[in-house]
Amino acid sequence: MTKTCKRRRGPSTITTPEIRKQICDLYNLHNWTVKNICERYKMADKTIRDIIKRFDQEGTVHYKPRGGVSRKAQLKKEHEAFLRTMVDETEDETLLTLNQLREHLYSSFPYDFLNTEENNPLLSLATLSRHVDKKLVLSLKRKKQQHDKSLLISLQDQHRIEFYASLKKHDINDVVFVDKSDFSASMVYSKARSKRNTKSNKPKPIKHISIIGAMSLKRIESMQVVMIDKATDKFIFALFVENLLAWLDNAYGRPMCVLMDTDRLSPRETIENLFEKSQHTCLFLPLYSDLNPMEIMFNNLVHFVKRSPDKNNEGIADLIQEAKHTIQPTDCECWINQCINGMTDSESV
């Protein structure tokens, strides 16, 4: 009895050794033709001829052995135990990758994962990864870095102490603080009332406003309000510092000390080059510090602009200049002393 096996190129017939032996007997002993055998067993002419040819040459009716050495690696229990031992004994600082785990398996079990005919490894990284994930139930996750908070705080305090030691070399009356702040469209109303089915005449949002200011113990030395792109922000700050140094020469005529945050405002080399050409000195505030009183002044300006009923897109720059006149010399002195007291507290810790 024959069976039909469906393949991509069409149906083909699978025969048993008994049927193949009957075909050979009919052809050799009973003198049947190939055509008669094809009609009886409903098989192709080439199939019948191949069966008879192989019987005449090799004397067998069995199928030819097909396939070669299996390339699929089998991870056994001893391999799993070895992998778990490697993962458990490895220190956290030296993480073993899949390539390294596979190399350790090859060296420990050379005859289990090597194709001797082609000398190619049988264990793929995908197979090893699935085994580690499914069998060992292990996953590769980012390890949380445990930072010593006390060490970070001590470093910040050390920077504050070093900065205050440099500041004490100058008279507080000769110190000028410089900083920058930003105003955006969130400072302006974005809603307005209008009739039904009509657009409201709400103001367009502001592109960007940068405020750069300088303050001494007695007054606000300079303030600039410009509407610019953030790409040109650093060039505007460098120009402001250059004009400020010229203003200090005309107003005081003596060396002054200027404090600023330069890492986020303008390249440090540009600022240092400007001070090398002048009689003034520059001190850079420590990173992530709240020692600049200009931040307190900017907060008061923001509060004034937000509470003003006359703010709009066209006049917000004039409104900021108007808010500058509300700041008194006593306010400047109070804000600077507040930051100085914060430096002294760090020194006493």
pLDDT digits (tens, 9 = 90+) for 173-186: 888 888 887 766 45
C-alpha triplet 214, 220, 222: angle, nearest 5°? 50
> Counting beta carbons within 10 angstroms of the beta carbon of residue 244, is it exposed (0 to 12), middle (13 to 18) or buried (19 or more)?
buried
Q: What does the alpha-carbon distance between residue 84 and residue 166 come to, in Å, rounded to a whole number?
A: 57
Per-residue pLDDT of the chain (349 residues; tens, 9 = 90+): 455 544 445 456 678 888 989 999 999 888 899 999 999 888 889 989 999 998 888 888 888 776 555 556 678 888 888 888 887 765 555 577 888 888 888 888 877 776 544 445 577 888 888 888 887 777 665 555 565 556 556 666 777 777 778 888 888 888 888 888 776 645 445 566 667 777 666 555 555 677 888 888 888 887 777 666 555 566 778 888 888 888 888 888 888 888 887 655 567 788 888 888 888 888 888 776 677 888 888 888 877 777 776 655 566 777 777 878 888 888 888 888 888 776 665 555 5
pLDDT score, position 185: 47
SS3 call for 7: strand
How many C-alpha atoms does 136 have within 13 Å on its Cβ side?
A: 24
Strand partners, 316: none
- Listed residue (257, 265, 280, 187) closest to 224, CA to CA: 265
Q: What does the alpha-carbon distance between residue 185 and residue 191 come to, in Å, rounded to a whole number?
A: 12
| Prediction pTM value | 0.50
pLDDT score, position 82: 86
Q: Is the four-CA dihedral 224, 274, 172, 283 of positive or negative sign?
A: positive
pLDDT score, position 8: 46
State how far the alpha carbon of 51 is from the alpha carbons of 7, 59, 164, in Å: 20, 10, 101
pLDDT score, position 313: 56
Cβ neighbours for 92, distance < 8 A, ≥ 6 positions apart: 143
Beta-strand relationship, 175-183 and 209-215: antiparallel
pLDDT score, position 116: 47
The distance in angstroms from the start CA to the end CA of the chain is 98
Q: What is the DSSP string of 117-131?
A: TTTEE---HHHHHHH
